[in-house]
Structure 1
C-alpha cells in the first residue's frame, strides 16, 4: 500500500512525538507491509498499536516492572544467567553458535523469569515468534502462529491468576483487564523481550569482530561499555522496516513537507540514526561517540517500554564475552554469515565462533 517513507532524523522524531500521527492499527490508511503483517495485529491489539488513552491505560500497568531502578536491581541475577550460558557454551566446545548457545538463551530466560513463563517452553514460543516475525509469511501462517501463541499465554495467565510472582500473574489478577488484553500484551512482552535483545547481542558481537580497532579499544577500556552499547544500538538499529503511523489531520513540517490526513507513514529508524547532521560519519562504528540521541528504541509516548532491561542485558553480555573469551573470533568467513533479511527484527540465523 502507498505511504510516506521518512528518513530524516528531525522528521522521524517529529512524527513519533506528534499526537497528530496515530499508532492505532484500526485507523484508515495505517500502513501494513504485507497482508501477513496486517494479520499479526490480531483481534485485540497490544498497547503498542493503540493511541492514548487506551495505550496509556494498558502501558502504565507494566511501567513499574521496567523502571531503571528495578532493572538495576536485577544485574546480579542477569550476570549469573550470562555466566551460566557462557559456561555451557564453552563446555559444549568450539566452534559454537553464538546465536543458539548464548544470544537467545540469555534474554529468553530473563524475560521468562520476569513474566512467569516456563523456560522449558522456550523452543515452542521461539519457533512461533520466528513465524510471526517472518515478513514473507502469508496471512494464514501468521494467523495460525498468533492464535497458538495467544492461546498459550491465555492458558498460562488463567493458571497463574492469584499467584504472587510474575507480570503475567499480576495482569491476570486485575479486574480492569479482559482476558484478551492480558493475553495480547503478554505476547508482546514475550516477543519483544527475547527477540530484540537476542538479535542485538549477536549482531553487536559480529559488528565488533568486523571492526577490530573498536573491539580492541573496548577490551582495553571496559568502562566504555555503556556508551558502546548506545553506539551499537544506533549503528545496528534492528527495526529495519520502519515504525508505521497514519496522519489524523493535515500536517506541515518546518521545511514545507506536507502529509495529508489519512496518509500512512513509515519512519525509518536506521536511516535517522545515520543522519549526518546528528551523527557525523554515521556509517562508521565508533564506540567513543556520544550516541545518546539515537532512536533505536523509538521516541515519544510509544518508545520501547523494555529499554532499561535491554541496555543492562547488552552491557552484561558483551562485557562478559569480551572478558572471558579474549580470543573470540568468527569460525567462518564473514561472507558466509546468514542474515535474517526477511524478519521484522533484523538479526542472524547463526553465528559460528571460536575462541
Structure 2
C-alpha cells in the first residue's frame, strides 16, 4: 500500500460546499487513506466499483477481527456485533426484521407524518421565528414519528431527546410491557417474530434492533432534514423550481440526499477475506476498505456535472442509503419524513430563509456524523 495522501473523513470547507477532495478523487479508483485511529485503509471511489464491492461475498462487514483497521481509537461497543454481520446471520436477521418493518407499515404511517408536520408547523407559526430548525421542527418530528412507529407511549417520549444517553434499560422494560399487552406497532411485531417465527430473534437481538431503529431512525433523518433545508435555501434558483412545482419534492429529496450527506462513510468499513480485483487492481486478503458512498454520489461517470446541485437531475440512483444486502432498512421511512417535512415547510413558509449567514453554521465534530449543530431560520 502506498503512503496515504488523504486523511478520512474529509473536512467540509464550508457548510454548503462538498469536501474539496471529492472533485478529483475519481482520478484513481482506489485511494489509500488514514483513519482517525491512525490505521490505514483503501477508499473505493467510483460508483460502479462500490456497487461491485458491496455485492461481493468476499468483502466482509464483520469488523470483529484483530487485523481490521480501527475506525477510531475508541472501543467499539459489544452491541456493534449485531450490525457487523455477514451472511447467513445477516440474511436471517434482515429476513426477520423485514417481516415486521414492512413498506406497508411505513405507507400506513404517511397520514400521521402529515398530521405531525402540520402540528409542528402550527407551533412554528405561533413562535414567529427566528427558531432553530433542529430543535423546533426536525428533531421533534422524527422523534415523534419513530416513537409512533415503535409504539412508545406518548408520555414517555421525552426519554429520547438525547442520543448521548441511549435508553437501553427503558427499551428492555418496554419490550416486556409490549409482550404482556401487544399492540399493532413495530415493537409488538418484532416480539411476534421473536416468539413465533422459526429461526427467531434472540432476546438480545430483539432488544438491540428495537433500540437501533429508535436511535438511528430519528437522529440521522432529523439531521438530514435540516441539512436539506440549508442546501435548498443556499440555491435560490433550485428552491424556486420546487416552490413552483411541489411535485418536484420527491426528486429534490433524492438530489438533496446525493449532495448533502450528513455522515461520512467511515462506518461502511469492510474487510477483504480473499483477494479481490477492483478496477483492474488486486486488493489482497486482509485489507480494510471503505466503499465511499459520498464519492460514488459525485462520480462523473454516474452523474453529469456532479458538483452541480440540480433538482431536475435524471441520473443514476444516489447511494446514500447504501445498496444490496446492507441497504438501509429505514430508507422508506426516511424518504417519507423528508418528503412530507420539506413539502410542508415550503408550502407554509414562502419566505423561509436562514436567519444567519450560511458560513456561520457549524457542523458536529464527529467522525461518523456531521450534521449541523443549529439551523436558525426565519420567514
Q: CA deviation at 1:80?
A: 0.3
SS at 1:84's partner residue? helix
Report what 1:23 is aligned to: 61
User: How many residues matched?
Assistant: 334
Question: Is 2:97 aligned against 1:78?
Answer: no
Query: Using a 3 Å threshold, how does the CA distance of structure 1 residues 29 and 295 change in structure 2: closer, same or farther?
Result: farther
CA RMSD of aligned residues (A): 1.9
Q: CA deviation at 1:72?
A: 2.3
Query: Using a 3 Å threshold, how does the CA distance of structure 1 residues 285 and 4 change in structure 2: closer, same or farther?
Result: same
TM-score between both structures, scaled by the size of structure 1: 0.88
CA distance in 2 between counterparts of 1:30 and 1:100 reads 38
Deviant stretches of 4+, over 6 Å: none
TM-score between both structures, scaled by the size of structure 2: 0.83
Report what 1:310 is aligned to: 334
Q: Which residue among 93, 104, 110 is the counterpart of 1:58?
A: 93
Report what 1:326 is aligned to: 350
Report what 1:151 is aligned to: 169
Alignment map for 1:247-266 (pairs within 5 Å)? 247-253=272-278, 255-266=279-290
Q: What are the ranges of 5 or more consecutive residues in structure 1 without an aligned counterpart?
A: 132-144
Query: Using a 3 Å threshold, how does the CA distance of structure 1 residues 324 and 109 change in structure 2: closer, same or farther?
Result: same
Report what 1:136 is aligned to: none
Query: Using a 3 Å threshold, how does the CA distance of structure 1 residues 96 and 224 change in structure 2: closer, same or farther?
Result: same
Q: CA deviation at 1:39?
A: 2.0
Question: Is 2:246 aligned against 1:210?
Answer: no
Report what 1:171 is aligned to: 190
Report what 1:45 is aligned to: 81
Alignment map for 1:124-135 (pairs within 5 Å)? 124-127=159-162, 129=163, 131=164
Question: Is 2:178 aligned against 1:160?
Answer: yes
2:41 touches 2:288 (CA, 8 Å); kept in 1?
yes
1:45 touches 1:184 (CA, 8 Å); kept in 2?
no
CA deviation vs aligned residue, 1:29-75 (integer Å, no higher than 9, x gap): 33332133x424x24622x3211111121222221444334322322
| Greater relative contact order (Cα < 8 A, sep 6+) | 1
Q: What are the ranges of 5 or more consecutive residues in structure 2 without an aligned counterpart?
A: 1-38
CA deviation vs aligned residue, 1:165-203 (integer Å, no higher than 9, x gap): 322233335233322111111121112210121011000
SS at 2:87's partner residue? coil
Report what 2:16 is aligned to: none
1:227 touches 1:291 (CA, 8 Å); kept in 2?
no
CA deviation vs aligned residue, 1:207-254 (integer Å, no higher than 9, x gap): 01100000011100111111111111111123314311111111012x
Alignment map for 1:228-247 (pairs within 5 Å)? 228-242=252-266, 243-247=268-272
Query: Using a 3 Å threshold, how does the CA distance of structure 1 residues 211 and 190 change in structure 2: closer, same or farther?
Result: same
Report what 2:35 is aligned to: none
1:7 touches 1:271 (CA, 8 Å); kept in 2?
yes
Segment drifting more, 299-308 vs 18-27: 18-27
1:97 touches 1:350 (CA, 8 Å); kept in 2?
yes
